[in-house]
Structures are given as structure tokens and as C-alpha cells.
Structure 1
Amino acid sequence: MHASYYHQAHACIMVFDVQRKVTYKNLNSWYKELREFRPEIPCIVVANKIDVDMKVTQKSFNFARKFGLPFYFVSAADGTNVVKLFNDAIKMAVAYKENSQDFMDEVLRELESFDLQKSENLSDQEESCPEEKPPSA
């Protein structure tokens, strides 16, 4: 992943494939990387492809519990829990955006409200200001 993927993110949905154990094992590194760039955004963990074998919903996946993250069993193929997942992710993202105390969000808000034109005009004025002469005695 690249840092730009996290730029201005307000929520994260981390998905693993219940048929591919390696994707579950990757959650730790994905989560660590996410927290380097966006330490506070809400994150949801998703077990996908439950339509292949519904018995997988009886399994316990400790990753989400370990970090206190919401967990969903979904099937992108048949739509099971997909709408609920996205509705919940959107609600979490909006709540986070409205109440964020994250330093990066504060910086981004400042940059969004920064008036580049005004800044350029101030720079131009500084360059055109006459030099001050010392007071004569």
C-alpha cells in the first residue's frame, strides 16, 4: 500500500478472504501500516466469501477482538451484510470526521482553509515593500 491510499480517509474497511488464510494473516501488517498514517480513524474487519461455506461463520476470528474492532461476515457475491457494512462504515466515518481530534485531520483542515491567493499577495507585498531607513539623529 501507499501512503496516498490513506490520504483524507475517515474510515477503513479491512477485508480478508475466508478461503485464503494468507489474507487473514496479512491483517496485522495492514493494520499496523494503517495506524502509521491514520492513527485514529475507525476501522472495520470483514470476513468475505461466506457464501462458499456458511460454517465459517461459526469460527472465531481473534484479530478484530484483539483490537476492539467491529467485525462482519459478508458475501460480496450474494450481498449478505454488504449494505449493513457500508451503512455502518459511513456512519462511523461521518462521526469521526465531525469529531476528529487527529493531528493529521487538523493539519488537513488548515490546508483546506488556507487561501493560497491571499498568501501569494502577501509574498508579493513583502517583496515590493521599500526598505526601511534608519532614523536620522
Structure 2
Amino acid sequence: MHASYYHKAHACIMVFDVQRKVTYRNLNNWYKELREFRPEIPCIVVANKIDADMKMTQKSFNFARKLSLPFYFVSAADGTNVVKVFNDAIKLALTYKQNSGDFMDEVMQELESFDLEKKSENLSDQDESCPEEKPPSS
């Protein structure tokens, strides 16, 4: 994934397909990449497509447990736990944003503040330097 996908993220939902083992095996790579760009944001792990095989909910998926990450069984097709996952992700993101000590968050806040100040100054300069327009004479 491109770094821009992580830009300003305050939470992550990592989803794998219970019918495709390769997606589960990729979780470790995805997680490492996430932590390169956003080392502190909360992360949730989701096992999707449980509607296709409910027996999958009896399996133990160690990836989330080893990292102490929240884990959910979900079916995007029938809606099982979808709203719960997003509600929990939003709560985690808000808590993180309010209490973040992440260096990159602080840098981004400073840059945004600087950009807003600069835009405000530019607008003020334009107001002062633009002569008032007079309606054309007929």
C-alpha cells in the first residue's frame, strides 16, 4: 500500500478473508507496513466472510491475540458485526486523537496550523493590495 493510505489515520481496520489463507498470511506484512507510517494508532483485526462458513468462527486466529489487538468475526455480506467494528474503530480513533503523543501527529498539526496562518496572511495581503473595482462606464 502507498503511504498516503495511512496519512492522518487515527485507527486501522485490517481485514482478511477466512476463505483465502493468503490474506491471513499477509496480515503480518500489512501490520509491519502500518507501523512504519503510523506506529501508535489503534488497530483492529477482522475475519471477514464468516457467512460462507460459520465453522471458521470456531477457529483460533493467533495473529491478533499475539499482538493483543481487538478481533472480530464479520460478514460484510449479511452485516454481522460490521456496525460494531466501525463503532469500536471510531471510539478507538477518537480516544487516540485526543490523547495522541505520536510525533507525526504533532508535526502534522503544526504544518496544518502553519498552512492556515499562511493562507490567512495571503488573503489579508490580497485584500490590501487589490484596488476596489469600479463599475464600467457606459
Q: Is the pair's TM-score, using the shorter chain for normalization, greater than 0.5? A: yes
C-alpha displacement at 1:112, in angstroms?
Answer: 1.3
RMSD: 1.4
Match of 1:116 in 2: 118
The one-letter code sitting in structure 2 at the alignment partner of 1:116 is K
Give TM-score, length-normalised by structure 2. Answer: 0.84
The one-letter code sitting in structure 1 at the alignment partner of 2:118 is L
Match of 1:3 in 2: 3
Length, aligned pairs only: 121
Instruction: Report the identity percentage.
Output: 82
Distance of 1:85 and 1:2 partners within structure 2: 24
C-alpha displacement at 1:117, in angstroms?
Answer: 4.1
The one-letter code sitting in structure 2 at the alignment partner of 1:110 is E
Q: Deviations over 1:71-126 (max 9, x none)?
A: 00000000000000000000000110011000000001111111224777xxxxxx
Q: Secondary structure at the match of 1:26?
A: helix
C-alpha displacement at 1:56, in angstroms?
Answer: 0.4
Distance of 2:120 and 2:89 partners within structure 1: 37
Q: Do residues 30 (structure 1) and 30 (structure 2) align?
A: yes
Give TM-score, length-normalised by structure 1. Answer: 0.85
Q: Which aligned runs of 4 or more in structure 1 are off by greater than 2 angstroms?
A: 117-120
Structure 1 unpaired stretches of 5+: 121-137
C-alpha displacement at 1:65, in angstroms?
Answer: 0.7
Match of 1:102 in 2: 102
